[in-house]
Structure 1
């Protein structure tokens, strides 16, 4: 069957040979070799079928590896892989993170069940504690919530602590709840939260990444991370050249 002519005097054996050449020319290695071969073979067959004149073998091989690269780029876009950094991890693209994690976050089935459970447990708390939780959620800080309720910061902190303990006991029942974490929603009530990193990059939604630290969440600058990544790559290249 390998000598069966497909089009323009090219046979199935020729398609197989050119598809393998396209796989060899590919440098992405972003998928297994069998998938890359199938993509290249299909692209070469399509280019051959659409050609009015007999194409050169080099042009068909080029169509094959270009199809592989197009599939790789589409996969990176689908999974939010950053193309301008060396991370190459799922969700590393700033725009992907801004879209899916913040603007249009769609809850999964588990997340939806948890949201319903939150409302049900809040309804079991006494009004004084439920109002404290809602005030904190609305105003963002213990100080602002206390002012809205007309109570002191100490009283507000006590109500929230009690509400958290009662909520956790119901949430994790019949198991014992874990140790409550300290609320570090703000660093200080007197200091303004920094809007730029130490190198002057603005902490926008796309340029901000949050990590878990020993004292709570830590804000990272993506622009600084990209610069450091580029510097590390340059250093490795200089070292290998030496």
Structure 2
């Protein structure tokens, strides 16, 4: 057996590397890449000091390198909170930066579809629902819109709620409608 340093052999380095990879619990990337990462980190830790380094310290250095590599892998592939179960490109920030930025521009399709859908759905709402939604858009708050229509806050809120639900049902045309958003107040500037 070839002695490397401090009494460790290549076989020892191989054993410590396998132990580091198997105990790292980081399954991202290729096993061989994880092995090479751990091997390099253990070898560097072994040669970085002239003092004797305990076996468990070298294994920990390999394991730490595998974890760092897995974190970089998850970040580069857009995993949400480094959870591989969430899937690649599941991070909202990743999608915003990469997917939205690379989407082809120039197609007016979304805007046209939205305008056509609104003009088709709006007349299917009751007069009260249309008035309530329009007043909310104009006045920006439930109180001001309810006062402008001469309604109680509860009656106004009911009209807005039923109008939104009816709109979403028609928008989704038989599919399960999305949940209503919780924040209905405009942002304060």
- Quickly name the TM-score band, shorter chain normalised: 0.5 to 0.7
Q: Which residue of 2 aligns with 1:96?
A: 94
User: What's 1:23 paired with?
Assistant: 21
Deviations 1:135-162 (A, max 9, x none): x959x964xxxxxxxxxxxxxx6xxxxx
The offset of 1:184, in angstroms, is 6.0
Residues 184 and 216, structure 1, Cα contact 8 Å, conserved in 2: no
Q: Which protein has the bigger helix share?
A: 2
3-state secondary structure, aligned to 2:94: helix
Residues 1-242 of structure 1 mapped to structure 2, 5 A cutoff: 3-83=1-81, 87-102=85-100, 105-106=101-102, 111=104, 115=106, 137=111, 142=115, 183=117, 188=122, 190=130, 191=133, 219=178
Unpaired segments ≥5 residues, structure 2:
124-129, 138-171, 181-189
Provide the TM-score with structure 1 as the length reference: 0.45
Deviations 1:41-68 (A, max 9, x none): 1110111121231211000000111111
1:82, CA displacement in angstroms? 1.0
Number of positions where the alignment pairs a residue of Structure 1 with one of Structure 2: 136
Partner secondary structure for residue 25 of structure 2: coil
The whole-number CA distance in structure 2 between the counterparts of 1:186 and 1:84 is 43
Higher strand share: 1
Higher relative contact order (CA 8 A, sep 6+): 2
Whole-Å separation in 1 of the counterparts to 2:69 and 2:5? 25
Specify the SS of the correspondent of 1:83: helix
Q: What value does the CA root-mean-square deviation take over the aligned residues?
A: 3.8
